[in-house]
C-alpha cells in the first residue's frame, strides 16, 4: 500500500456493520440438524457448529432489589467494586442516622449482588452504553451547576475582598486618628506637667510668703508687746552674725523662738511695756 492509499484509507469513513440476527440456541440446533441431514460437510454447517462450540463470554451485572436495578459492567472486578461501594454508602448513612439520634428500627440493609448478565452480549453492551450515556449526562449537569456555584463563589469572594479592603482603609484612618490623639494627649501631658511645676513653684512661693507674713506678725506683735525688752536686748541677729554667713531666715526663726520663750517667761514685763 502506497502513501496515497494509506491517506485514502485514513480519510474514508468505515463501512456500516452487517446486520446481526440473534437466535436462541435450540433454533440453531434444529436448523443444523436439518442441514447436516442433507449435507454435513457444507461450509455453513461447519461454521455454525464452530460458533456454537465457542465458549460464551462471561458478562457480569450488579443486581439490587427493585425494578430496573440491574447494571451492566465490563468485568466482574468492576461489578464487585460497585457493589462494595453501594453497601458502604448504606452503612455510612445508617451510622449518620444513629449519630443524629434517629431511629433505625425500620432500616433495611442495602443489598447488592454480582451475577452473570441476563442479556446477550450485544444487549449487555448496549445497556452499558446507555448507562454510561446517562452518567455522562448527569456529570455534565453537575458540571454546569458546579460552574454556576463557582461563579457565585467568585463574585462573593470579590465582594468580600472589597469589603475587607474598605475595612482596612477605615482601620488605617482610625490608626492615624489615634496617632494624632496620642500626640495631642502627650502634648497635653507635657503642658499639664509644666503647669503642675509652675503650680508647685507658686505654692512654694505662697508658703514662703505665708511664712514671711507669719514672721512679720510675730515680729510686729513682739515689737508691740515687748518694746522695752527689745530695747534692753537690741537684737539676736546682729550684723556680725550675718556677716559671718549665717542664714538670715534661720537667724530670724531663732530670734522668733527666743522671743516667744522670753515673752512667755516674762509676761509682766510685756504688760508693763504695753501700759507705758
User: In this predicted structure, what is the pLDDT of residue 225?
Assistant: 56
With beta carbons less than 8 A apart as the criterion, state whether 274 and 225 touch. Answer: yes
| pLDDT band at residue 6 using 50, 70 and 90 as cut-offs | confident
Band (1; pLDDT cuts 50, 70, 90): low
Closest CA relative to residue 29, chosen from 48, 54, 55: 48
Q: 100: which 3 cell numbers?
A: 443524629
Confidence of residue 59 (pLDDT cuts 50, 70, 90): very high
Look up the pTM and report it: 0.46
**Averaged pLDDT score across all residues of the chain:** 79
Predicted confidence band of residue 89 (pLDDT cuts 50, 70, 90): very high
Among 5-19, 125-139, 174-188, 190-204, name the one with the lowest average pLDDT. 5-19
- pLDDT on residue 87: 93
Dihedrals phi, psi of 65, to nearest 5 degrees:
-60, 130
Out of 3-12, 68-77, 154-163, pick the least confident.
3-12
| pLDDT at 234 exceeding the cut of 50 | no
Residue 179: φ, ψ to 5°: -65, -45
What does the pLDDT average to over 91-110?
Answer: 91
CA distance 105 to 35: 64
Q: Rounded to 5 degrees, what angle do the CA atoms 53, 113, 94 make?
A: 170
How far is 32 from 44, CA to CA, in rounded Å?
A: 9
DSSP code at position 105: T
pLDDT score at 236: 47
Q: What is the pLDDT of residue 226?
A: 53
Residue 20 or residue 177, greater confidence: 177
Query: How many whole angstroms separate alpha carbon 111 and alpha carbon 66?
Result: 10
Q: Each residue of 173-232: pLDDT tens digit? A: 888 888 888 888 888 888 888 888 888 888 888 778 777 777 777 666 665 555 444 445
Rg, Å, the chain Cα set? 61
End-to-end CA distance of the chain: 165
Instruction: Report the alpha-carbon distance of residue 276 to residue 228 in Å, rounded.
Output: 9
List, in order, residues 6 or more apart from 225 with CB less than 8 Å away: 263, 270, 273, 274
Amino acid at each position: 500500500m502506497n502513501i496515497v492509499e494509506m491517506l485514502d484509507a485514513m480519510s474514508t469513513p468505515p463501512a456500516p456493520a452487517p446486520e446481526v440476527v440473534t437466535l436462541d440456541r435450540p433454533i440453531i440446533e434444529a436448523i443444523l440438524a436439518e442441514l447436516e441431514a442433507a449435507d454435513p460437510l457444507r461450509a455453513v454447517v461447519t461454521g455454525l457448529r464452530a460458533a456454537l462450540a465457542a465458549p460464551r463470554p462471561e458478562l457480569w451485572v450488579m443486581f439490587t432489589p427493585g425494578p430496573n436495578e440491574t447494571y451492566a459492567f465490563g468485568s466482574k472486578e468492576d461489578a464487585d467494586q460497585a457493589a462494595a461501594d453501594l453497601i458502604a454508602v448504606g452503612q455510612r448513612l445508617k451510622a449518620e442516622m444513629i449519630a443524629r439520634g434517629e431511629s433505625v428500627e425500620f432500616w433495611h440493609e442495602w443489598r447488592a449482588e454480582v451475577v452473570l448478565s441476563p442479556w446477550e452480549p450485544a444487549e449487555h453492551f448496549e445497556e452499558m452504553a446507555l448507562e454510561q450515556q446517562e452518567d455522562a449526562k448527569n456529570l455534565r449537569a453537575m458540571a454546569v451547576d458546579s460552574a454556576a456555584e463557582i461563579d457565585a463563589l467568585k463574585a462573593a469572594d470579590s465582594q468580600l475582598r472589597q469589603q475587607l479592603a474598605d475595612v482596612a482603609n477605615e482601620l488605617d484612618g482610625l490608626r492615624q486618628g489615634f496617632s494624632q490623639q496620642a500626640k495631642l494627649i502627650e502634648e497635653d501631658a507635657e503642658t499639664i506637667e509644666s503647669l503642675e511645676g509652675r503650680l508647685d513653684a507658686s505654692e512654694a512661693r505662697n508658703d514662703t510668703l505665708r511664712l514671711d507674713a507669719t514672721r512679720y506678725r510675730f515680729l510686729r506683735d513682739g515689737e508691740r508687746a515687748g518694746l522695752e525688752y527689745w530695747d534692753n536686748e537690741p537684737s539676736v541677729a546682729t550684723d556680725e552674725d550675718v556677716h559671718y554667713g549665717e542664714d538670715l531666715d534661720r537667724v530670724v526663726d531663732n530670734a522668733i523662738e527666743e522671743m516667744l520663750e522670753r515673752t512667755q517667761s516674762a509676761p509682766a514685763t510685756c504688760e508693763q511695756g504695753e501700759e507705758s
